[in-house]
């Protein structure tokens, strides 16, 4: 169980694996993984992130780490979820390419060379596509429903968002933040930021050990995160477009109805006491104004977010003809 480590301490590949109560799978997974990576002839590191396991997974990882020079182990203080575990792995990884996979042996490490080969076609991210899934019918149905909703809202071309087996260029995950259950929507967020995403059909194996962490609750959590991704993909830099448009539409409708009743009251002596639509129209004007205020506040919040995090609302792919001196530009690109 060994692998090449770069002499300068900077590996070419980093494999990030979240672990939660997978003690029976760890050793076999590591053996299969190192066997596949050794054949590549590239330096690599393997990072296991123990997401607060209670079955002794950390002890297994600790023992394994004593005999493996390229293995790193991160233990989180509590169970924080797969997104947080992946984020921790990203933060502590050093490779030029970051590979992620599950720790339950259902992802096949032998597929990694094919994903890396796909990267040579110019992709920034390559996702695994589990064509023949070895999961219970209920899990397949939940995933199918989630995929349908995602395709309706995001309109992307990725077939399998549930597959954790993926390869990323280092630049893709720099300053990348994951919250909630957002790990499954990483490809969509990459597309939003202008990165190219490819797919490779991969092998999917039946679970031999442990228990699946997937349940119906994750479907609803994933759906709420899907709403966030949809909003972020379309209005991340212009929230006023959605809130302002909705506010103007609702307010204008309420305004026309209100003017109609006011006209009737003044010139036609129509009583407003028994006209609930008049009250509803006034309420619509108030709601419309609130939407506009929400849009302004959201716009201010996003500008503060980009400024404090020192993020820009664009991603540079190449620079030609500039000197090595850093460009002195504002932190927020004015649109």
Question: In this structure, what CATH number is given to the domain that contains residue 165?
Answer: 3.90.550.10
**Whether residue 129 is found in the same domain as residue 214:** yes
> What does the pLDDT profile of the chain (335 residues) look like in tens digits?
445 545 456 899 999 999 999 999 999 999 999 999 999 999 999 999 999 999 899 999 999 988 888 899 999 988 888 888 898 899 899 999 999 999 999 999 999 999 999 999 999 999 999 888 777 676 777 777 777 777 777 777 788 878 899 999 999 888 677 766 678 788 888 887 788 999 999 998 887 776 666 655 666 666 777 777 777 777 767 788 888 889 999 999 999 999 988 888 888 888 777 788 888 999 999 999 999 998 888 878 877 766 665 655 555 655 565 554 444 444 334 33
Full residue range of the structural domain in which residue 279 is found: 239-308
**Whether residue 249 is found in the same domain as residue 118:** no
Task: Answer whether residue 329 is part of any domain.
Answer: no
Last residue of a domain, one of 206, 234, 262: 234
Alpha helices in the chain (DSSP H): 26-38, 57-66, 82-92, 112-119, 137-153, 170-173, 186-192, 216-235, 239-267, 276-308
Note the pLDDT of residue 74: 92
Task: Answer whether residue 324 is part of any domain.
Answer: no
Task: Answer whether residue 59 is part of any domain.
Answer: yes
**Whether residue 138 is found in the same domain as residue 29:** yes
**Whether residue 252 is found in the same domain as residue 179:** no
Residue 11's nearest CA partner among 100, 120, 96, 119 is: 96
Task: Answer whether residue 328 is part of any domain.
Answer: no
Q: Is 4 exposed, middle or buried (0-12, 13-18, 19+ CB in 10 A)?
A: middle
Tell me if the pTM is above 0.85.
Answer: no
**Whether residue 166 is found in the same domain as residue 304:** no
Residue 147's nearest CA partner among 168, 166, 167, 130 is: 130
Task: Answer whether residue 184 is part of any domain.
Answer: yes
Note the pLDDT of residue 242: 83
| 256 and 213 Cβ atoms separated by less than 8 Å | no
Backbone angles phi, psi at 144, to 5 degrees: -65, -45
**Whether residue 159 is found in the same domain as residue 73:** yes
In whole angstroms, what is the distance from residue 82 CA to residue 49 CA? 9
Note the pLDDT of residue 318: 57
- Residue that has been written with the tokens 């720790």 in this structure: 103
Task: Answer whether residue 3 is part of any domain.
Answer: no
Listed in sequence order, the residues at least 6 apart from 329 whose beta carbon sits closer than 8 Å to its beta carbon are: none
Note the pLDDT of residue 180: 64
What end-to-end distance do the CA atoms of the chain give, in Å? 53
- Residue that has been written with the tokens 């030029």 in this structure: 96
Note the pLDDT of residue 214: 60
**Whether residue 84 is found in the same domain as residue 153:** yes
**Whether residue 41 is found in the same domain as residue 104:** yes
Reported for 88-91, long-range contacts at CB under 8 A and 24+ positions apart, including other chains, are 88/49, 89/14, 89/16, 89/17, 89/18, 89/47, 89/49, 90/16, 90/173, 90/176, 90/178
**Whether residue 229 is found in the same domain as residue 244:** no
**Whether residue 117 is found in the same domain as residue 103:** yes
**Whether residue 181 is found in the same domain as residue 199:** yes
Task: Answer whether residue 333 is part of any domain.
Answer: no
3-state helix, strand, coil in the chain (%, to 5): 45, 10, 40
- Residue that has been written with the tokens 């293995």 in this structure: 71
Token code pair at residue 100: 């992620």
In whole angstroms, what is the distance from residue 214 CA to residue 169 CA? 28
Q: Total domain count for the chain? A: 2
Note the pLDDT of residue 319: 57
Task: Answer whether residue 148 is part of any domain.
Answer: yes
Q: Is 163 exposed, middle or buried (0-12, 13-18, 19+ CB in 10 A)?
A: buried
**Collapsed DSSP state (helix, strand, coil) of residue 168:** strand
Last residue of a domain, one of 214, 234, 254: 234
**Whether residue 201 is found in the same domain as residue 164:** yes
């Amino acid at each position: 169980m060994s692998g090449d480590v770069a002499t300068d301490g900077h590996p070419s590949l980093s494999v990030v694996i979240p672990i939660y109560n997978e003690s029976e799978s760890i050793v076999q997974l590591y053996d299969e993984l190192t066997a596949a990576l050794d054949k590549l002839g590239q330096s690599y590191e393997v990072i296991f992130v123990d997401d607060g396991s209670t079955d002794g997974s950390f002890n297994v990882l600790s023992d394994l780490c004593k005999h493996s020079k390229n293995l790193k182990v991160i233990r989180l203080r509590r169970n924080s979820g797969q997104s947080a575990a992946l984020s921790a792995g990203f933060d502590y990884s050093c490779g030029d390419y970051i590979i992620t996979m599950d720790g339950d042996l259902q992802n096949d490490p032998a597929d990694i060379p094919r994903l890396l080969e796909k990267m040579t076609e110019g992709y920034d991210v390559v996702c695994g596509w589990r064509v023949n899934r070895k999961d219970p019918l209920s899990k397949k149905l939940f995933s199918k429903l989630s995929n349908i909703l995602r395709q309706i809202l995001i309109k992307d071309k990725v077939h399998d968002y549930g597959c954790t087996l993926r390869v990323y260029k280092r630049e893709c995950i720099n300053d990348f933040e994951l919250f909630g259950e957002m790990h499954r929507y990483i490809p969509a967020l990459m597309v939003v930021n202008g990165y190219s995403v490819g797919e490779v059909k991969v092998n999917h194996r039946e679970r031999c050990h442990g228990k699946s962490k997937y349940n119906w609750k994750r479907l609803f959590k994933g759906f709420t995160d899907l709403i966030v991704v949809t909003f972020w993909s379309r209005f991340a830099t212009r929230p006023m477009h959605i809130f302002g448009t909705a506010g103007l539409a609702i307010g204008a409708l309420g305004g026309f109805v209100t003017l109609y009743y006011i006209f009737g009251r003044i010139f036609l002596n129509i009583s407003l006491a028994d006209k609930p639509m008049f009250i509803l129209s006034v309420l619509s004007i108030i709601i419309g104004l609130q939407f506009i205020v929400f849009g302004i506040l959201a716009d201010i919040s996003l500008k503060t977010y980009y400024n404090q995090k020192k993020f820009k609302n664009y991603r540079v792919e190449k620079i030609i003809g500039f000197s090595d001196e850093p460009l002195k530009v504002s932190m927020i690109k004015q649109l």
